[in-house]
């Protein structure tokens, strides 16, 4: 973190603690209720019900099932009294949320608890609104009523010098600056204004402050590179194992992903996911690989006793055939710095990782050349084995 950009959030150690943001937003929305109404309007395209705006943070709702007995909602806003709009917001800064937990917030029992806590009659179903609030607008991990939104509208809603109580202003200023800095930096990268091609990749990634970290900067640059390639967008995430959690991204041609296992009685062999994956390696480099997995990814597949043995063998045979077809292009892949591998997920790898002390421009070129070489070979292999036309 750049020391000259430290703020109150850094000093207090609450930089990535979402409750510090939702608690402050709730206070501000009660102080200046027009800001809450403007945020609702920006998200939903219309104003909420007229009347008092009430907020509640860390609201307990029943957890049906084993383990803990209560879940805690990050932020709830109620607009009006007679026929109120209730806005349920699950907010994240750097973490993610289980869809199972989000679905529990949608239950009738949870709705009644929320209404009771706010001192309201239970609104009609049309007056419930669910949002999943993140920096980048990520979707929840599975289907729910929660729709993804970002903090970006707050840049316009929260003015630079509002009429606020003196004790609130330092925290307010820090909060606003964080959102302004984040989305300004994001736009500069994705629009190609920064960093310059001559900047060392390591220097670009290390220049972090406020809400901006290595993961964000890697993902933004990959979003810009996706535009360079003119193909499908990258999916972003974190590659995790016991040793580290580092940013990664993946992309695929649309036909490289089959049916979803568990839907429409699809056989496992039909549920393939062939994709390219780039990962920031702990240390000093970026790896580039070709994966063949299930859709969705199922860990521990070889020992999964819930799947019929015949289905498993069909899947592995289809994967072996794809790998065999890919091996026919081994010579041209080697000429383009790719090598074939044999791992449970990985089938090919760029033979040399990209070193972070090289420039952003050379990284963009490395990704472009690598993607073109492996995409052509994988495309032909998939057609030959009949995975796609």
For 190, other C-beta atoms within 10 Å of its C-beta total: 17
In this predicted model, what pLDDT tens digit does every residue of 49-90 receive, in sequence order?
Answer: 999 999 999 988 776 655 556 778 999 999 998 789 999 999
Domain assignment of residue 322, yes or no: yes
For 321, other C-beta atoms within 10 Å of its C-beta total: 15
How many alpha carbons fall within 13 Å on the CB side of residue 35?
22
Domain assignment of residue 177, yes or no: no
Domain assignment of residue 205, yes or no: no
Same domain, 162 and 22: yes
Same domain, 167 and 219: no
Task: Please tell me the predicted confidence (pLDDT) of residue 3.
Answer: 45
Same domain, 154 and 272: no
In this predicted model, what pLDDT tens digit does every residue of 98-130 receive, in sequence order?
Answer: 667 788 888 888 898 898 888 888 778 889 999
Same domain, 33 and 147: yes
Domain assignment of residue 180, yes or no: no
Same domain, 162 and 247: no
| Angle ∠(96,100,104) on CA atoms, nearest 5 | 115
Same domain, 251 and 363: yes
Task: Please tell me the predicted confidence (pLDDT) of residue 1.
Answer: 41
For 126, other C-beta atoms within 10 Å of its C-beta total: 8
Q: 213: Cβ–Cβ under 8 A, 6 or more apart, which residues?
A: 94
Domain assignment of residue 226, yes or no: yes
Domain assignment of residue 105, yes or no: yes
Range of the domain at 96: 3-172
Same domain, 17 and 148: yes
Task: Please tell me the predicted confidence (pLDDT) of residue 2.
Answer: 46
DSSP string, 242-284: SS-EEEEEEE--GGGB-PPTTSTT--GGG-EEEEEEEEEETTT
Taking alpha carbons only, the member of 145, 224, 222, 146 closest to residue 191 is 224
Taking alpha carbons only, the member of 381, 316, 326, 332 closest to residue 348 is 326
Same domain, 353 and 227: yes
Task: Please tell me the predicted confidence (pLDDT) of residue 231.
Answer: 78
Same domain, 378 and 234: yes
Torsion, Cα 19 8 33 103, to 10 degrees, reads: -20
Domain assignment of residue 184, yes or no: no
Task: Please tell me the predicted confidence (pLDDT) of residue 83.
Answer: 82
Same domain, 166 and 224: no
3 state DSSP class of 183: helix
Same domain, 296 and 161: no
Same domain, 220 and 311: yes
On whether the CB atoms of residues 219 and 189 are closer than 8 A, the answer is: no
Task: Please tell me the predicted confidence (pLDDT) of residue 40.
Answer: 98
Domain assignment of residue 49, yes or no: yes
Q: Which residue has the tokens 């969705």?
A: 296
Q: Which residue has the tokens 């199922």?
A: 298
Q: What is the largest CA-CA distance in the chain?
A: 72
H or E element at residue 134: strand 128-134
3 state DSSP class of 348: strand
Rounded to whole angstroms, the Cα distance separating 196 from 262 reads 46
| Angle ∠(143,149,151) on CA atoms, nearest 5 | 150
Rounded to whole angstroms, the Cα distance separating 385 from 389 reads 10
Task: Please tell me the predicted confidence (pLDDT) of residue 242.
Answer: 47
Residue ranges for the chain with pLDDT beneath 50: 1-3, 242
Rounded to whole angstroms, the Cα distance separating 318 from 11 reads 54
How many domains does the chain divide into?
A: 2
Q: Which of 172, 190, 223 is the last residue of a domain?
A: 172
């Amino acid at each position: 973190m750049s020391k000259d950009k430290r703020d109150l959030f850094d000093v207090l150690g609450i930089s990535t603690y979402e409750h510090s943001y939702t608690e402050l937003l709730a206070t501000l929305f009660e102080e200046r209720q027009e800001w809450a109404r403007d945020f609702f309007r920006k998200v939903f395209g219309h104003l909420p019900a007229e009347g008092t705006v009430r907020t509640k943070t860390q609201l307990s709702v029943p957890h049906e099932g084993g383990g803990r007995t209560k879940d805690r909602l990050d932020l709830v806003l109620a607009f009006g009294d007679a026929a109120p709009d209730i806005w349920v917001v699950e907010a994240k800064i750097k973490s993610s949320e289980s869809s199972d937990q989000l679905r529990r917030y949608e239950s009738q029992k949870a709705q009644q608890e929320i209404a009771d806590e706010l001192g309201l009659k239970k609104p009609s179903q049309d007056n419930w609104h669910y949002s999943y609030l993140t920096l980048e607008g990520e979707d929840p991990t599975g289907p729910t009523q929660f729709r993804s939104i970002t903090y970006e509208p707050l840049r316009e809603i929260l003015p630079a010098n509002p009429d606020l109580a003196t004790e609130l202003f330092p925290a307010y200023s820090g909060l606003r600056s964080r959102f302004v800095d984040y989305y300004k930096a994001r736009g500069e990268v994705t629009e190609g204004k920064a960093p310059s091609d001559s900047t060392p990749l390591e220097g670009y990634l290390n220049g972090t402050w406020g809400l901006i970290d290595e993961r964000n900067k890697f993902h933004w640059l990959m979003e810009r590179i996706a535009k360079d390639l003119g193909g499908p967008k990258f999916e972003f995430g974190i590659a995790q194992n016991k040793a580290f959690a580092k940013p990664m991204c993946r992309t695929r041609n649309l036909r490289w992903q089959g049916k979803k296992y568990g839907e429409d009685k699809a056989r496992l062999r039909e549920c393939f996911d062939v994709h390219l994956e780039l990962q920031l390696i702990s240390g000093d480099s970026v790896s580039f690989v070709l994966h063949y997995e299930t859709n969705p990814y199922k860990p521990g597949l070889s020992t999964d006793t819930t799947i019929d043995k015949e289905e498993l063998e069909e899947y592995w045979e289809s994967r072996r055939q794809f790998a065999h077809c890919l091996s026919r292009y081994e010579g041209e892949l080697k000429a383009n710095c790719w090598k074939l591998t044999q791992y449970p997920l990985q089938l090919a790898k760029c033979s040399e990782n990209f070193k972070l002390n090289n420039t952003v421009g050379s990284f963009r070129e490395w990704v472009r050349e690598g993607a073109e070489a492996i995409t052509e070979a994988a495309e032909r292999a998939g057609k030959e084995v009949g995975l796609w036309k």
